[in-house]
Amino acid sequence: MNDMAPTRPDAAAAPSAPLEFGAADWFRAEVDRFIEEMGKPGRSLLSFIPRFAMPKPAIELTDAGDSYRLSAELPGLTDKDVKVEVADGILTIAAEKHEAADRAEETCLINERRQGYIQRQISLPIDADPEDVKARFKHGLLTLEIGKSKEARKRVRKIKIGD
């Protein structure tokens, strides 16, 4: 009786090709950087995790009768950091925050300020009019007023429920 696990017949025939720079190399570099940073003050596993998770802004979409109102929380950003686009019924909110570059002579011991790229995509309701979108940005809150298509409003019909 043979206790060895069977091998795939093609496993021995496949040549071992050198890995191109890709996900494995990126991950290896991130692990190396994590190990280097662990000995520095203010560093921990919790400060390392946000690099992997792309944050998504919290949103709220409400029906305001003749329009929809969407608000997105984007704290720490300005209107110049934010880009809003509508294409094929998909609303995209994207923003990029850059690190302050004025620390040339200072050594940062703790940095919990977020930087990088965030994006959120939302499928708009079918009666939303992509040509009628107005945006406001104030105190880290993006508010979009999305008009409803007049043709779609005409197609709505209330039906009376009988006994």
pLDDT single digits (tens) 119-151: 999 999 989 999 999 999 999 999 999 999 887
27 and 74 in a single domain? The answer is no
- Who's near 54: CB < 8 A, 6+ residues apart? 116, 117, 118, 119
CB 59 within 8 A of CB 79: no
Residue 87 clears pLDDT 90, i.e. is over it: yes
Query: Residue 120 sits in a domain of what CATH number?
Result: 2.60.40.790
Reference 114, options 89, 81, 137, 158; nearest CA is 81
44 and 71 in a single domain? The answer is no
Give the domain range for residue 61: 55-154
- State in Å, rounded, how far the first CA of the chain is from the last one: 76
Distance CA 105, CA 37 (A): 19
Report the DSSP beta bridge partners of residue 86. 91
With 0.75 as the threshold, say if the pTM is over it.
no
Q: What's the Rg (C-alpha) of the chain?
A: 25
35 and 103 in a single domain? The answer is no
- Has residue 11 been placed in a domain? no
